[in-house]
Amino acid sequence: MKGKVLILGANGFLGRYVARWLSSRRYPLRLFDLAFRRQLAFDCHSGVETVEGNFMNPADVARALEGVNMVLHFISTTVPASSINNLMAEVETNVTSSAKLLDLMAEMGIRFIGFPSSGGTVYGAGNDDHREEDNLRPSCPYGLGKAVIEELIRFYRDYRGIRYQVWRISNAYGDTTRLHRMQGVIDAFLQKVSAGERLSLWGDGSAVRDFIFIEDLTAAIGAMIESGVEDEVVNIGSGVGSSICQVLQVIRAVVGRDVTIDTAKDYPGVPRAVLNIDKIRRLTGWTPSYSLEAGIAEAWRKLRTDAVYP
């Protein structure tokens, strides 16, 4: 699959890490985002370009697409919490703009897209670990938007010849570059602990999630890209469920002190969302390297040594 890669949303959390991973392997890159005001989180080699533009503006997107072979689409204007009561914003921004992107790719002869879907929200509630063949029952407009974009991608594969990889990602953490308020419970907790603030806990802490450290997530996406597989949907997570109460216990152990917790409100998400990751292991040989304890310890170390907030 090597050739020039366009990373949409390259200044975001996951986009930056994937860009760094590909840059270290000398992929020619074009990075697209609204602005690159702060230094990128990796050393650019000579094959890296940056293009500033608005994803909602097809002319900007068309300019970014010129001469690329592969598109990695990391742009999202919403997060699960912000989407709860605003379905139309999800459709009008993420879904519509992604459809326009696919149309431009087809017109310009670009035949591959990688897309990060949401393993935490597209499946809905379930007692068993979610597999890729499970029916989708999105638990919020954000998840619904991701599921619709997945269907758009499959439609463009069948009718316009665009090949794809869809990565259904669990709850990623390890971002020290921006303040977390509405997404990323582990990073939000660690930032509040670092600042000496009280933690706000939604619900009773029994909700179970599949947390994956950013280094593992980046390696998994890299392994998928390097594998060259096409027209596949894979779960990417740790494959292990941990409750929010368990996360808090690990944080207390890592930081070496107790934390003060306030109960904010009822938790709006599903009680349990854990991913089965057998498929990506089979396709690529990738497997997670970080336990929850090791990942939180490394996230805490990074936060204390090199955090940079916008």
Domains of the chain by residue range: 5-171+212-236, 173-209+240-275+290-306
| CA count, 13 A, side-chain hemisphere, 21 | 21
> In the chain, what percentage of residues exceed pLDDT 70?
88
pLDDT digits (tens, 9 = 90+) for 103-156: 999 999 999 999 999 999 999 988 899 999 999 999 889 999 999 999 999 999
CB 272 within 8 A of CB 241: yes
pLDDT in tens, 58-112: 999 999 999 999 999 999 987 766 556 678 888 889 999 999 999 999 999 999 9
17-62 pLDDT tens trace: 999 999 999 999 999 999 876 555 455 555 689 999 999 999 999 9
Predicted confidence band at 183 (pLDDT cuts at 50, 70, 90)? Answer: low
pLDDT at 41: 45
Q: Which CATH superfamily is domain 173-209+240-275+290-306 in?
A: UDP-galactose 4-epimerase, domain 1 (3.90.25.10)
Long-range contacts of 49-57 (CB under 8 A, 24+ apart): 50/10, 55/8, 55/9, 55/97, 55/101, 56/93, 56/97
Give pLDDT tens digits for 199-240.
888 888 899 999 999 999 999 999 999 999 999 999 999 999
Q: What is the CATH number of domain 5-171+212-236?
A: 3.40.50.720
CA dist., res. 231 & res. 2, Å (int): 17
Question: pLDDT tens digit string along 250-301?
Answer: 999 999 998 888 876 666 678 999 999 999 999 999 999 999 999 999 999 9
